[in-house]
Structure 1
Amino acid sequence: MCEPQPVGVAAFLNRYPFEVNAERVLPAGGGAGQSVASDGSAEGNVGTGVAALSALNKSVQNKSSLNKNKNKNKNKNKNKNKNKVAGAAGGAAALSSLMPALELRRLHQLPQADPFIVARRFVWECLDICLPPGPDFTRLETAVMLAMQARDAERMRRLPDIQAQAAFSVDEFLRPLGIEGLAGYEATEGLFLNILQATEYVGLLYKARIDRDRPNVVELRLRPLLAVPAHQSYPSNHSFQGHSIVFAFNAILPEHPATEELQRIAQNVAENREWAGLHFPSDTLAGKELARRFAPYLRDAFGAAFLAAQAEWH
């Protein structure tokens, strides 16, 4: 069985645990003025933990949110419609760019429903996805990527999209739904943004555990079009994130005519990372498979957000 080690956000959330159920979110530990440390001892004041959590939220921004801030002048007219939304809806939209800490807290709780898996903590970190292919198949993949690199015209045609998709934005997924820049769909956009946050975090855990080198490390003749990220290659987080949005919207509104277009966009975003020289094709497939297997845990953690988004379409 996988033995995940708490890192980064996980360690922080374990230090300031919350009890989460369908109706309320409360600091764990029973006492009104205490939080419970990861070793089970009560320490400090809940206010300290909440303040620290708030500070972490403010400091950790989604890549999509950062990208949108850079282009806020360009989208000024579109944002005027959103600014007309008042009250709770406007507040929810503002919070959507923050790290979904309570939903991640839910992921890190022990599963309570099934007594046969109650001891399997962090089961979502140990999902059964295929390991990377061996050296012989990897050599075939590098040969394919060298052939893609030789297709200069196609590579340059894709370059603007490759550059734009480096900082993952939900705008590409809002556009075919016809809601980009429109008021009244803040819950849907907020859900998509929070999915990007959560899946980036989960994907990095799988990358670190599997530890596959980037293609340009395996094949020195590859010339990536973008700076190569410092983290590992497998699975592709762009593929994982994009397909997670697709599976989420399919759960919300499977009959929507744009669901197939969302799938095409997710696949195109993932394949552009191959054309950029940053991912093997098997990285892309693994990202999609991880999205499929992680989808039930995502729906459980973001249950309220799924319902809010669904209500906007009915």
Structure 2
Amino acid sequence: MCEPGGGGVAAFLNRHPYEVNAERVLPLDGGPAHPVGADGSAVGDVPMGGAALSALNKSVRNKSSLNKNKNKNKNKNKNKMAGTGGGGAALSSLMPALELRRLHQLPEADPFTVARRFVWECLDICLPPGPDFTRLETAVLLAMQARDAERMRRLPDIEAQAAFSVEEFLRPLGISEVAGYEATEGLFLNILQATEYVGLLYKGRIDRDRPNVVEPRLRPLLAVPAHQSFPSNHAFQAHSIVFAFNAILPEHPATEELQRIAQNVAENREWAGLHYPSDTLAGKELARRFVPYLRDAFAAGFLAAQSEWH
């Protein structure tokens, strides 16, 4: 499944090597230095903003008095960016370049030598089923399509989730539009970007056709994305956020609600006629296997987010 390759992001990063330490990012080619903060972002970056308070978390309630109107404006601007398109393209200006570079560094020898293959590119997830099982899956999707009432009930969520936003995950935590949780929200946004990139790598290598290509009687509720079907990036991204927060604060009472939301986001892509059920399962499994590499690359972000909850 994983074929050697030296192009794309890895090739770009190799052409622009940086020396990375705890306080600064120094270009090895003599260019200007860029100070970075504890979370790995450039000093001077505008923090992303953190509505209703959760009665489950007293500290959230205490922080809510800190300039809610200012954070509302931040969220409006951020959501306007997130709503202009789907996935990584919508948030391209927020691409976590430093963390992506860490993903592309070797743990030994010269850290700026690009490997032909990285472990996180070759994670052991089940490949798509064969044609007979795929036909069974399309029959399931046709049966779901025939349930017009349920499909129309889900349609508002399906449309809202087309352009992935982290707001749905912030609300059950009680930190939507609340000051003091910028690192948590920023981490979620960066995870969204990184997993979009990684998921597209797997899609390109596996190259599974969308369900409507196999079964022309399917009528998707949204425009069918141009990229491949397996694994589901919505499932991968949503569950990656859940697994990340579980690593930060596993005892939080909203963790089960986050899991329910992630599953709903993933299953709505099936109800929309865009993904097979096996795409959804693969996306969740990829998130489970990728989270250790995510924690390594975003270590500073994880620590900064964790500090907001203690």
Compute the TM-score of the two structures, normalised by the length of structure 2. 0.78
Q: Quick one: distance in 1 between partners of 2:92 and 2:137?
A: 38
Q: Quick one: distance in 2 between partners of 1:127 and 1:19?
A: 28
Q: Which runs of 5+ in 1 are unaligned?
A: 34-45, 51-56, 58-64, 66-77, 86-94
Determine the structure 2 residue equivalent to 1:143.
Answer: 139
Q: Contact 1:4/1:125 (CA < 8 Å) preserved in 2?
A: no
Determine the structure 2 residue equivalent to 1:71.
Answer: none
Task: Give, in angstroms, the shift of residue 11 of structure 1.
Answer: 2.8
Which residue type is aligned with residue 110 of structure 1?
L
Tell me, yes or no, if structure 1 residue 295 matches structure 2 residue 301: no
Determine the structure 1 residue equivalent to 2:11.
Answer: 11
Distance change (3 Å), C-alpha of 1:228 and 1:134: same
Determine the structure 1 residue equivalent to 2:56.
Answer: none
Tell me, yes or no, if structure 1 residue 274 matches structure 2 residue 270: yes
Superposed CA offset, 1:92-120 (max 9, x none): xxx9961100000000001239xxxx977
1:5 counterpart SS class: coil
Determine the structure 2 residue equivalent to 1:305.
Answer: 301
Which residue type is aligned with residue 176 of structure 2?
E
1:1-314 equivalences under 5 Å are 2-28=2-28, 33=30, 46-47=31-32, 80-82=69-71, 98-112=94-108, 121-314=117-310
Q: Contact 1:109/1:121 (CA < 8 Å) preserved in 2?
A: no
Query: Which protein, 1 or 2, shows the higher relative CO under an 8 Å CA cutoff with sep ≥ 6?
Result: 2
Q: Quick one: distance in 1 between partners of 2:151 and 2:244?
A: 31
Distance change (3 Å), C-alpha of 1:288 and 1:310: same
Q: Quick one: distance in 2 between partners of 1:259 and 1:157?
A: 25
Which residue type is aligned with residue 215 of structure 1?
P
Q: Which runs of 5+ in 2 are unaligned?
A: 35-40, 42-47, 49-66, 75-90
Q: Quick one: distance in 1 between partners of 2:22 and 2:250?
A: 24
Distance change (3 Å), C-alpha of 1:6 and 1:119: closer
Distance change (3 Å), C-alpha of 1:256 and 1:107: same
Q: Quick one: distance in 2 between partners of 1:19 and 1:121?
A: 22
Task: Give, in angstroms, the shift of residue 9 of structure 1.
Answer: 2.9
Which residue type is aligned with residue 172 of structure 1?
E
Which residue type is aligned with residue 105 of structure 1?
R
Determine the structure 2 residue equivalent to 1:88.
Answer: none
Q: Quick one: distance in 2 between partners of 1:313 and 1:287?
A: 28
Distance change (3 Å), C-alpha of 1:275 and 1:6: farther
2:162 counterpart SS class: coil
2:125 counterpart SS class: coil
Task: Give, in angstroms, the shift of residue 25 of structure 1.
Answer: 2.9
Which stretch shifts more, 124-133 or 96-105? 96-105
Runs of 4+ in 1 over 6 A off after TM superposition: none
Q: Contact 2:192/2:237 (CA < 8 Å) preserved in 1?
A: yes
2:153 counterpart SS class: helix
Q: Quick one: distance in 2 between partners of 1:213 and 1:180?
A: 37
Task: Give, in angstroms, the shift of residue 81 of structure 1.
Answer: 3.5
RMSD: 2.7
Q: Contact 1:246/1:263 (CA < 8 Å) preserved in 2?
A: yes
Which residue type is aligned with residue 207 of structure 1?
K
Q: Contact 1:124/1:297 (CA < 8 Å) preserved in 2?
A: yes
Which residue type is aligned with residue 155 of structure 2?
L
Determine the structure 1 residue equivalent to 2:53.
Answer: none
Q: Quick one: distance in 1 between partners of 2:117 and 2:207?
A: 22
Which residue type is aligned with residue 186 of structure 2?
G
1:193 counterpart SS class: helix
1:240 counterpart SS class: helix
Which residue type is aligned with residue 295 of structure 1?
V
Determine the structure 1 residue equivalent to 2:81.
Answer: none
Q: Quick one: distance in 2 between partners of 1:222 and 1:302?
A: 40
Q: Contact 1:96/1:194 (CA < 8 Å) preserved in 2?
A: no
2:173 counterpart SS class: coil
Q: Contact 1:110/1:120 (CA < 8 Å) preserved in 2?
A: no
